Amino acid sequence: NAGVTQTPKFQVLKTGQSMTLQCAQDMNHEYMSWYRQDPGMGLRLIHYSVGAGITDQGEVPNGYNVSRSTTEDFPLRLLSAAPSQTSVYFCASRRGQGYEQYFGPGTRLTVT
């Protein structure tokens, strides 16, 4: 098993550009989520999904879109990047309620 994979590892964007952060898991987990990590703020939930076709907002959803067409994939889209979106982004998955959450290695995004 590869676990949770994320691409790219690093990305630099200019303000206003769009991009998609990819996340995939091969554990057949129903629940997937995206977090951003900023110094001194821990991890904050952006969006999450409890199954294919079902998504919902977390704490900091503005500026991000998600969709979940398959169990395996949960891409995060930045429609118009802003410097405030400079952060490290983590994707995670878990089997369901009360199970361990597995994290990907992260994507470090810089918006100039």
Partner 1 sequence: AQSVTQPDIHITVSEGASLELRCNYSYGATPYLFWYVQSPGQGLQLLLKYFSGDTLVQGIKGFEAEFKRSQSSFNLRKPSVHWSDAAEYFCAVVLKGAQKLVFGQGTRLTINP
Please select the residue that binds partner 1; options are 90, 93, 109, 111, rule is CB under 8 A: 90
C-beta closer to partner 1: residue 7 or 80: 7
Distances (CA, A) of 53 to 48, 62, 109: 11, 20, 27
Contact code string over 28-57 relative to partner 1, x by CB under 8 A: ---x-x-x----xxxxxx--x-x-----x-
Say which residues have a Cβ less than 8 Å from residue 22's Cβ, sequence separation at least 6. 5, 6, 7, 8, 73, 75
Residue 26 engages partner 1 in binding (rule: CB under 8 A): no
